Amino acid sequence: MSEVQTGYVTEDGRQIGDVMLDLRAITLRFGGVEAIKNISFDIREGEIRAIIGPNGAGKSSMLNVISGFYVPQEGEVWFHGKKRPPVKPFQVARQGIARTFQNIALFEGMSVLDNIMTGRLNYTKSGMLAQAIWKGKAEREETENRERVERVIDFLEIQAIRKTPVGRLPYGLKKRVELARALAAEPKLLLLDEPMAGMNVEEKEDMSRFILDVNDEFGTTIALIEHDMGVVMDLSDRVVVMDYGKKIGDGTPDEVRNNQDVIDAYLGVAHDE
């Protein structure tokens, strides 16, 4: 059950706002397999919300439902207080929900700068002809787009690689470029699918810092999937725990940590003989 008006204040004193995204009784099936079973939870404005769970729990499926890549068979998605009709992923992106992928989906043939500029496509309204001949409104737009992109590049400390083709970058930097592209779109809600998978400790620390800073500086609401429990507990305000497509826990990191179902799911449970 989600109350609609009031937010809350986090331990570190940040004000969390109203419900931004509300998932109600989502069920997703692939043939006979139920990947998500009747799950409800919400994401509030300004929050960092984590989705955790063992492998195959349905976390990525959940993210794909939010970003429109999967259409659930049952349940409703409410965004900014309105019920969302079935939509295509590109329409979700245009509504202000940006995302990254578990296996990195970048435009490998383009430079870092061009990749990040694609995040601005929806802010480019002037017509083809105007752009081709580079005048007035088109020029102003291009300047605005460049400003935002430069800010994101500075922010994520990737100035040095801006002209490099993405295909040549190491894994950790690719992850960062993907985040940059998502941020360039000025999203209201940012979805991160395992932003730290495959990173070493140092890279994880960098990425954690970026996530906190994004939330702090841009006020972006963030939902993320992560396996590293230490990271999740440090970063997130509230945590949803999934196991075998079901929700087995939901609350602050402390609450979740002490939830018996969650402990069982992660450590295994001794069955009575």
Partner 1 sequence: MPADFYYGIEVVLNGLMAGVMYALVALGFVLIFKASGIFNFAQGVMALFAALTLVGIMEGQVPFAHLINATFGTEIHHFGWHVPALLAILLTVGVMVIFAWAVQRFLFRHLVGQEPIILFMATIGLAYFLEGVGDLMWGSNIKTLALGLPQGGARWIEDATAGLGGDDFYGFFIDKLDLVATLVAIVLVAGLIAFSQYTKHGRAMRAVADDHQAALSVGISLNFIWILVWSLAGFVALVAGVMWGAKSGVQFSLSLIALKALPVLMLGGFTSIPGAIVGGLIIGVGEKLFEFLVGPMVGGATENWFAYVLALLFLVFRPQGLFGEKIIERV
What is the amino acid identity at position 16? I
Sole window of 16-24, 41-49, 95-103, 214-222 interacting with partner 1 (rule: CB under 8 A):
95-103
Length of the chain: 273
Q: Whose Cβ is closer to partner 1: residue 187's or residue 253's?
A: 187
213's tokens: 């800073």
Give the contact letters, 185-214, x = binds to partner 1 (CB under 8 A), - = no.
x-----------------------------
Q: Distance between alpha carbon 49 and the CA centroid of its chain, in Å? A: 9
Told to check if 90 binds partner 1 by CB under 8 A, we report: yes
Q: Which of 19, 98, 223, 231 binds partner 1 (CB under 8 A)?
A: 98
Q: Which is nearer to partner 1, 118 or 259 (CB)?
A: 118
Q: Count Cβ atoms within 10 A of the Cβ of residue 196 and give its class: 0-12 exposed, 13-18 middle, 19 or more buried.
A: buried
> Could you tell me the two tokens for 201?
């400790």
In the complex with partner 1, which residue's Cβ is closer, 83 or 88?
Answer: 88
- Binding to partner 1 by CB under 8 A, coded x per residue (else -) over 49-88, reads ------------------x-x------------------x
The CB-of-134 to partner 1 minimum distance in angstroms stands at 8
Q: How far apart are CA 220 and CA 189, in angstroms?
A: 6
Residues 107-166 that bind partner 1 (CB under 8 A): 107-110, 114, 117-119, 121-122, 124, 128, 131-132, 134
| Alpha-helical segments (H) within 20-168 | 59-66, 89-94, 112-118, 128-133, 136-155
- Distance in Å, CB of 119 to partner 1, minimum: 5
Residues 163-182 that bind partner 1 (CB under 8 A): 181-182
For residues 16 and 47, is the Cβ–Cβ distance under 8 A?
yes
- Token pair recorded at residue 104: 């990195």
Taking the complex as a whole, the smallest distance from the CB of residue 121 to partner 1 amounts, in Å, to 6
User: 194 and 102 in contact (C-beta within 8 Å)?
Assistant: yes
Shortest Å, Cβ 168 to partner 1: 13
Residue 148 CA to residue 135 CA, distance in Å, equals 20
**Span from 41-49, 77-85, 93-101, 211-219 in contact with partner 1 (CB under 8 A):** 93-101
Q: What's the closest the beta carbon of residue 152 comes to partner 1, in angstroms?
A: 13
Report whether 180 contacts 213 (CB < 8 A). Answer: no
Dist CA 35 CA 75 (whole Å): 14
Other residues' Cβ atoms within 10 Å of the Cβ of residue 106: 20
Q: In terms of CB distance, is 7 or 165 closer to partner 1? A: 165
- Note whether 238 and 250 are within 8 A (CB): yes
> Is 225 or 256 the residue whose CB approaches partner 1 more closely?
225
Separation of CA 97 from chain center: 8
- By the criterion CB under 8 A, which residues form the site for partner 1? 67, 69, 88-91, 93-94, 98-101, 105-110, 114, 117-119, 121-122, 124, 128, 131-132, 134, 181-182, 185
